[in-house]
Amino acid sequence: MRAAAERYLDQVHRGGNDWWRYALGAFTIGFFWLGLGYLPYTRLAATVAAHPLAEFIAVNFSIVMMLAGLAVTVKWIHGRDLLSLVTPHARVDWPRMARAAAVWTVLSAAAAALEHLMFPGRYYLSFDAHRFWLSAAAVLVLTPLQCVTEELVFRGYALQGFSLLTRRPALIAIGSSMLFAVPHLLNPEVHQYGAFVMTLNYFAIGMVLAAVTLRDGSLELAIGLHAANNTFLALVANYEGSALTTEAVFTARELDPWYSLAALAASGAVFYCWFFGPAASRTAGSTDPRE
């Protein structure tokens, strides 16, 4: 295991790690997320369903509560700070996070453009100026927060927690990716396109994010990637029936889950090589300056 990954995973030892802390922590996060966040949404689902923006805000409220539950868990149950889930360094490298978001945005645009060329007529222009800007404002505020929360939970808290059971990076990545896929099985795409292929999609993005996190030794690239992925989907190229009920510029008539999986694998490989391949090494020097 590389030194960067070792330092990142060793952040888990800054706090208490008894088994009961993780049991209580999982309960706390789940209670805040589902009990305080998602349950109110289910009671209002019929009301907000007719208002996509209201539904988008209501769904994201549960993620805000998940973040609150995580903060309580890390601070009061484990006795450490949230920064330890992001990086072993003294501060967050915001420019690095922004570079990750920029690279993934370009890759997402290329994948959408290629899909349009391969399947003419799949995308149509859905831009509506009267509804777009308010929806875009909500997306730009809530979607990065949603992605940061998921990264802190699944690639921070869970990834570091799994390192207490094994130090094998592959097993740590698989464990956190399986955990990441489970709550996404509640998404409407699963019922429409099938659990098997959608589980593969969720697991694959989880593996890409876990691999990037372990290789980089921080959550910064994963947060940038995840935020760019969901923001691009919500604002630029969404699809009918998406879990993200937003006003996008272009909308696909349906999701092609197999194309999505292939595009994800290809984009993930390019992203990884961009930041960690030979060209990146030559640019940064033979030694990673973060190590």
User: Is the pLDDT at 67 greater than 80, yes or no?
Assistant: yes
Does residue 157 form part of some domain? yes
Does residue 112 form part of some domain? yes
List the one residue out of 38, 49, 67, 104 whose CA is nearest residue 266. Answer: 104
Does residue 56 form part of some domain? no
Does residue 3 form part of some domain? no
What would the two tokens of residue 270 be? 């390019």
Grade residue 40 by pLDDT with cuts at 50, 70 and 90. Answer: confident
- The total number of structural domains in the chain stands at 1
pLDDT for residue 249: 96
- Read off the amino acid at residue 18: D
Mean pLDDT of the chain: 92
Does residue 266 form part of some domain? yes
Does residue 257 form part of some domain? yes
Which residue in this structure is represented by tokens 């349950």? 39
Does residue 145 form part of some domain? yes
Q: What is the pLDDT of residues 128-139, one digit of tens each?
A: 998 999 999 999
pLDDT for residue 244: 81
Name the least confident of 55-64, 244-253, 273-282. 273-282
Q: What is the pLDDT of residues 197-221, one digit of tens each?
A: 999 999 999 999 999 999 999 999 9
Does residue 5 form part of some domain? no
User: Is the pLDDT at 285 greater than 50, yes or no?
Assistant: no
DSSP state of 187: S
Rounded Cα–Cα distance for residues 248 and 116 (Å)? 15
Provide the residue range defining the domain that includes 201. Answer: 89-284
Rounded Cα–Cα distance for residues 269 and 263 (Å)? 10
Helices (H), the chain: 3-9, 19-30, 39-48, 52-72, 83-86, 94-118, 129-150, 158-162, 169-184, 188-193, 195-216, 220-235, 257-276, 278-284
Mean pLDDT calculated for residue range 108-118: 97
Could you please report the per-residue DSSP string of 100-152? HHHHHHHHHHHHHHHHHHHSTTSEEE---HHHHHHHHHHHHHHHHHHHHHHII
